[in-house]
Amino acid sequence: MRRLLIANRGEIAARIARTARGLGIETVAVCSDADAGAVHVRACDQAVRIGPAPVSESYLRADALLEAARTTGADAIHPGYGFLSENPDFAEAVADAGLAWVGPPAAAIRAMGLKDEAKRRMEAAGVPVTPGYHGDTQDPAFLAERAAEIGYPVLIKASAGGGGKGMRLVETPDAFAEALARAQSEAASAFGNDRVLIEKFIQNPRHIEVQVFADSHGSTVHLFERDCSAQRRHQKVIEEAPAPGMTEALRAAMTGAAVRAAEAVGYVGAGTVEFIVDGSRMTPDAFYFMEMNTRLQVEHPVTEAVTGTDLVAWQLAVASGAPLPLRQDQIRLSGHAVEARLYAEDPAHDFRPQTGRLTALRLSEAVRVDTGVTEGDTVTPHYDPMIAKLIAHGPDREAAFARLGAALAESQLAGLTSNLGFLARLVADAEMRAGRLDTGLIARQGDSLLADPEPDATDLALAAAALAGLLETPPETHWRPWGAGRSHVTLAGGETVALSVQPAAAGLAITAETPAGPTTLTLQHTGASRWQVASGAASETVHLHTDPDGVSLTRGTTRHRITLADPLARGTEDGPGGDAVLAPLPGLVKSVAISAGDAVTRGATLAILEAMKMEHALTAPRDGVVAEVFAAPGDQVDDGSLLIRLEPEA
């Protein structure tokens, strides 16, 4: 292998390039117009533009990728994860072009690509599978009958994909029809296939997966397990290895089943066999096959950390025809590793994806960081909103979590809303630290994890001072012979903060009247965005990042994004009692369920917006009658666009 084309983007493309370069392999990046200056492009030796920003016109174009390989003289293609990584037709096309495919054979991808067919094959191989319906019939009434036979709650899952897309948990029969329609629509959009299967939802479910690897010489090994139970919207947030509470008997049963699963389909390369485990038992008869991901996983770094391996190097070696670097008895577990996925999203609002410019991005250097963006980059609506992965390794689970918690607290991100504060609280959560986790942990903990507390007087005073520009000048400029200068700052939401600022021995003294009460603070600038803030005898480190749109403030695990009031803005219209439904982020209108004149009730689904690879239901803000509909299926809308207006209340 001399020159490798990486048919992907973001952090995984940069990560593959790093290993390839270390092995002396030249790398070729591909990029859409939106990614022309991206991190993964700069990480490679050369780059080829393959189309406009939409993935259907760039990263999903097999013809453009193959042409890029041809024109650059690449002799191999690594698909990363997502996009075309599990597309058997693309794998075949790469082989037909005389290129090495860094992945499993097309036949293995095809065998595991449809969940229903995969489960039939796993049953034949003696791998336990979850009770459910995996057949071809897709009639809604028929599927509803099968769900009733299986027994609620059930999971509807896309047959052709993963990552939580096309997946819905249904707890009652009357919710089945709408959940099915949404799952099929999302599956069709994400994978080009709207077929679904139905499975029994396991109570107290743990999501535990096994990393497997096979070569073309008949050897298949496992590299132990990962626990990915901490999830939101059926997508992973925290992953760790090994799984907490794992017994040797259960590990032997699961890893043995995973190896049999790979061997049953003639697997070659890196793959992950995912199991659902009854967390209340953790016994050798308490796990069931869910699916096999025929690619490298997002969470592969935790396996690398605890086994001392480089899985991308293994992939490149196996794709070149070499045998596996280690035998099963040579693979050892060492310590514990945990990974957190940092996303541009709003946990307090159902993890809604966010877009915008990263005015500050300073991630801890004390842990491994895999990222595809850097400070100054823009998170766009075209791609998954993951910013980075932070991976900590320690001698045991407590040490690994402590290191990750410290790294999250040290990291700074500004310019848009992210899940950084949520991750810090999750890593510190007592249930998580004790290993008492299942896929419902985040939902159970609710607001204690999801929402930052309301800004207190200190938060409001610091934000107002930063937004007024009072922290950007030397302390002596605030001296007045007639007493402290006063400022009034109106924040978004109409809250007004009255400030007086004057020099103090350590820097600045601020006295403020805020909606949360009065406060007196002394501030000392200690470098970059960092301030030491004292209130009475208490002192703490606070980070303040100011940009043209607002200020991002960090105090421990609490993070706030606070902006100035817009004097030209209308009153809020999309909250309870409002008249309007606005687009919460840029996206594509998939469907509109109402027309002008229809009566609606608060919370009813009015339209579906597709953005950043997920579907978002837009609901009625109150009971009322639809006055006007401004959007139609197929419309591309901007953040804040008026989509539907209700008639004014009498």
295 is catalytic: yes
* Active-site residue identified among 15, 110, 251, 295: 295
Handedness of CA 215, 216, 219, 220 (dihedral sign): positive
Three-state secondary-structure class, residue 558: strand
State how far the Cα of 316 lies from the Cα of 329, in Å rounded to an integer.
Answer: 22
Q: What is the DSSP string of 457-501?
A: HHHHHHHHHHHTTTTSS-GGGG--TTS-EEEEEEBTTS-EEEEEE
Residues 240, 397 contacting (CB under 8 angstroms): yes
Bridge-based pairing state of the strands 76-78 and 100-101: parallel
What distance in Å separates the CA atoms of residue 19 and residue 378, rounded to the nearest whole number? Answer: 26
Q: Letter for the amino acid at 264?
A: A
Nearest CA to 43 out of 6, 71, 79, 70 is that of: 6
DSSP state of 519: E
Taking the C-alpha atoms of residue 422 and residue 414, their distance in angstroms, rounded to an integer, is 15
Cα 189 to Cα 553: distance, rounded to the nearest angstrom: 37
Which two structure tokens, joined as six digits, stand for 383?
């791609």
User: What does the block give as tokens for 20?
Assistant: 């390839």
**Both tokens assigned to 301:** 């770094």
In angstroms, what is the C-alpha Rg of the chain? Answer: 26
Q: For 510, list phi and psi in degrees, rounded to 5.
A: -120, 130
Q: From CA 449, how far away is CA 433, in angstroms rounded?
A: 14
Residue 134 near residue 319, CB atoms below 8 Å: no
Q: What is the largest CA-CA distance in the chain?
A: 87
Helical ranges in 267-347 per DSSP H? 300-307, 311-319
* Beta pairing partners, 567: none
Give the separation between CA 368 and CA 390, rounded to whole angstroms.
6
- Bridge partners for 587 per DSSP: 637
Place of tokens 């794998």: 91
Which helix H or strand E contains 260, and what residues bound it?
A: helix 248-264
Three-point CA angle 252, 257, 261, nearest 5°: 150
Supply 476's token pair: 């002596």
Nearest CA to 468 out of 560, 546, 554 is that of: 546
**Residues that are catalytic:** 295
